[in-house]
């Protein structure tokens, strides 16, 4: 049998068009339609840090390490508290010894003795994973070992992680590290095991001053969501386009 060129092109064109249209339009089953609607009603966990209230006691860092089985005396941590001392000369001194695990008990940033009259402003900034809406750490994972849940938390699959460290390099916030025992990427989970059971994350629970708060962005009556929506909050490194979901009250230009 001989096929004419014209017939061949006609058949192939129709087949290509049919495949394209068939792929674009698909009828959802009732179950799929329901799932699509309810998926939008899920929670979206966000975090609010009020730096005015932080006193640098480091109880959050301690509670995080004990709750999440991060080796206590190793220099790695899922959350940390930075100290900023800005002098009247304009010089900014910043330090984070052991992530602030043992609190700040002396006015000696970077080991320097500071005259209190020289201090223009000084404060503490707690940091943790920003649970970005567009997490670069997840994009770079070559094996699908890190992922985002439907409620916005980025998690690590310890059995699937190959320890390549791409995600650690990709995070603009330095929130990831290698777990000293499991040798896999490790990060803050917003205490996913606690918030899924209606508890607060360990750091929020341990903070005596209310400097750390967790909320649900999809609940308009949530006190944290109300503050994020109505007050002047800022995020860290918005220029990276990661859409971080940890919001700060009282940030300073010296905080990076």
Partner 1 sequence: MSHVWKPVWVVLAIVGIILGLRFIIVPPDFGIWDRGYMYGWHRHSAELFWKDQFKVKYKGRDYCNNCHPDKVSSILASSHKNIQCEDCHGPAIDHPDNPPKLAIIKDRGLCLRCHAYLPYPTSLRSKIAGWPNPDEHNPGIACVNCHNPHSPDFSKPDLNKEVLKVKDITERYDGN
**How many residues lie near partner 1 (CB under 8 A)?**
63
Out of 116, 220, 221, 253, the only residue in the binding site for partner 1 (CB under 8 A) is 116
Out of 45, 80, 123, 173, the only residue in the binding site for partner 1 (CB under 8 A) is 123
Q: Which stretch binds partner 1 (CB under 8 A): 144-152, 177-185, 217-225, 232-240?
A: 144-152
Q: Does 255 bind partner 1 (CB under 8 A)?
A: no
Q: Does 147 bind partner 1 (CB under 8 A)?
A: yes
Q: Which is nearer to partner 1, 100 or 215 (CB)?
A: 100
Out of 44, 98, 165, 196, the only residue in the binding site for partner 1 (CB under 8 A) is 196
Instruction: Compute the distance between CA of residue 148 and CA of residue 137 in angstroms, rounded to an integer.
Output: 10
Q: Which stretch binds partner 1 (CB under 8 A): 6-14, 142-150, 166-174, 232-240?
A: 142-150
Q: List residues near partner 1 by CB under 8 A.
A: 39, 42, 51-59, 62-63, 65-67, 72-73, 85, 102-107, 116, 119-124, 134-135, 138-139, 144-150, 155-160, 189, 192-194, 196-197, 199, 202, 205-206, 208-210, 250
């Amino acid at each position: 049998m001989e096929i004419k060129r014209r017939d061949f092109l006609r058949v192939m064109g129709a087949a290509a068009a049919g495949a394209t249209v068939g792929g674009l339009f698909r009828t959802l089953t009732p179950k799929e339609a329901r799932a699509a609607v309810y998926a939008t009603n899920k929670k979206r966990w966000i975090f609010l840090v009020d730096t005015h209230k932080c006193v640098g006691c480091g109880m959050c860092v301690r509670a995080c390490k004990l709750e999440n089985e991060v080796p206590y005396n190793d220099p790695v941590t899922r959350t940390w508290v930075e100290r900023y001392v800005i002098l009247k000369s304009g010089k900014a001194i910043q330090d984070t010894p052991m992530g602030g695990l043992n609190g700040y008990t002396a006015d000696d940033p970077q080991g320097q003795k500071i005259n209190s009259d020289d201090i223009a402003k000084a404060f503490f900034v707690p940091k943790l994973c920003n649970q970005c809406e567009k997490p670069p750490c997840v994009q770079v994972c070559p094996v699908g070992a890190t992922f985002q849940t439907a409620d916005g938390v980025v998690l690590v699959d310890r059995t699937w992680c190959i320890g390549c460290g791409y995600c650690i390099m990709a995070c603009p916030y330095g929130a990831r590290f290698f777990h000293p025992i499991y040798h896999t990427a490790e990060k803050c989970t917003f205490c996913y095991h606690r918030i899924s059971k209606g508890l607060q994350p360990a750091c929020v629970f341990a903070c005596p001053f209310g400097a750390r708060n967790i909320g649900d962005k999809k609940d308009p009556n949530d006190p944290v969501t109300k503050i994020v929506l109505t007050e002047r909050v800022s995020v860290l490194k918005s220029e990276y386009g990661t859409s971080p979901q940890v919001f700060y009250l009282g940030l300073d230009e010296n905080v990076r």
